[in-house]
A and B are shown apart, each in its own frame.
Chain A
């Protein structure tokens, strides 16, 4: 049965998106991408450090991947817009993850600034994937502003706490007619499966993979969990109940 994820008219071959930060080396990062078959991978932009003789990260990302720059480091809409334009000038294409984070303690996004940046960048032809607190009214505003997806956080970035925003994400899935991509905070494959069972269209994971003992194996586990969770969502798994219900017939031949 066909179950193709489409974003901005483009077929996306995997519902597992991978971030490229925090890997011990670029070859390890590449291996995680290849093994998990991630199709969308994120990168960041930074000032060049002339002391750092690391290779160009783009050379380690398989050619078939969609490279999506993020706007990390942006504290307001204008900075996010500036970073997006730089990313496009760098030949990175039109895909942009908007991330506007004014708070260093919890790394929570600023929805209002994110909406403003989305309005501007969508008009400029970017495929905009905004990273936001899961709020229904804001998700509607983002949809109106031309966002290609909504990316609610599962939990604060890098916390590995899982789908803490579960109930709010479920509402977005039900009410918003765009792919919902759960981003941030997913620590284990079971968290990813949970997000997909809720009806998320995809998940984006970075820290949990990059900082695992074996990143490639972890990426593979996440990728499989995403597929399992997606199938479970489509299958319409049964709802929980308060009272027990026998699964074997209690035909009373004992009494």
Chain B
């Protein structure tokens, strides 16, 4: 199954939730916002959000800027 995470194509061998994806990447959940297929996905929905073929996920956080 092909998905697009932060602009990179990824082949997944098994089903995965957004929560698991975040955990796998060792990202602290409270520091990021997730967009799933272009819509903001509230943190309490991550556990139920299973990635499907051709889904896009953006994982976004704050950094320095002027």
The chain A residues found within 8 Å of chain B, CB to CB, are: 19-23, 26, 29, 42-48, 50, 54, 56-58, 69-70, 72, 85-86, 89-90, 92, 157, 184, 204, 206-207, 210
Chain A residues near B26 (CB-CB < 8 A): 50
Look across to chain A and name the residue whose beta carbon is closest to the beta carbon of B61: A48
| Shortest CB distance B39–A (Å) | 10
Contact yes or no, A90 B62, CB < 8 A: yes
The chain B residues found within 8 Å of chain A, CB to CB, are: 6-7, 25-28, 31-33, 35, 40, 42, 58-66
Look across to chain A and name the residue whose beta carbon is closest to the beta carbon of B27: A48
| Shortest CB distance B36–A (Å) | 12
Q: Report 23 cross-chain contacts, Cβ distance below 8 Å, ordered by A residue.
A: A19-B65, A21-B63, A21-B66, A22-B66, A43-B63, A43-B64, A45-B61, A45-B63, A46-B60, A46-B61, A46-B62, A46-B63, A47-B59, A48-B25, A48-B60, A48-B61, A54-B63, A56-B28, A70-B66, A72-B65, A85-B40, A86-B60, A210-B64
Contact yes or no, A86 B66, CB < 8 A: no
Contact yes or no, B65 A56, CB < 8 A: no
Contact yes or no, B60 A23, CB < 8 A: no
Look across to chain B and name the residue whose beta carbon is closest to the beta carbon of A45: B60
Chain A residues near B6 (CB-CB < 8 A): 47-48
Out of A23, A50, A184, name the residue touching B64 (CB < 8 Å): A23
Chain B residues near A204 (CB-CB < 8 A): 66
Chain A residues near B58 (CB-CB < 8 A): 47
Chain A interface, DSSP helix/strand/loop, else mixed: mixed
Out of A22, A45, A184, A206, name the residue touching B62 (CB < 8 Å): A45
Assembly CA distance A42 to B65 (angstroms): 6
Contact yes or no, B65 A20, CB < 8 A: yes
| Shortest CB distance B63–A (Å) | 5
Chain A residues near B65 (CB-CB < 8 A): 19-21, 42-45, 69-70, 72, 206
Contact yes or no, B62 A50, CB < 8 A: no
| Shortest CB distance B57–A (Å) | 10
Contact yes or no, B64 A47, CB < 8 A: no
Contact yes or no, A89 B40, CB < 8 A: yes
A85-B40, A86-B35 known; A57+B64 contact, CB < 8 A: yes
Assembly CA distance A46 to B31 (angstroms): 12
Look across to chain A and name the residue whose beta carbon is closest to the beta carbon of B7: A47
Contact yes or no, A92 B66, CB < 8 A: no
Contact yes or no, B32 A48, CB < 8 A: yes
Chain A residues near B31 (CB-CB < 8 A): 56, 58
Scoring A57, A70, A204 by chain B CB atoms within 10 A of each residue's CB, the highest score goes to A57
Chain B residues near A20 (CB-CB < 8 A): 64-66
Assembly CA distance A47 to B57 (angstroms): 10
| Shortest CB distance A56–B (Å) | 5
Look across to chain B and name the residue whose beta carbon is closest to the beta carbon of A207: B66
Assembly CA distance A92 to B61 (angstroms): 11
A47-B6, A56-B28 known; A42+B61 contact, CB < 8 A: no
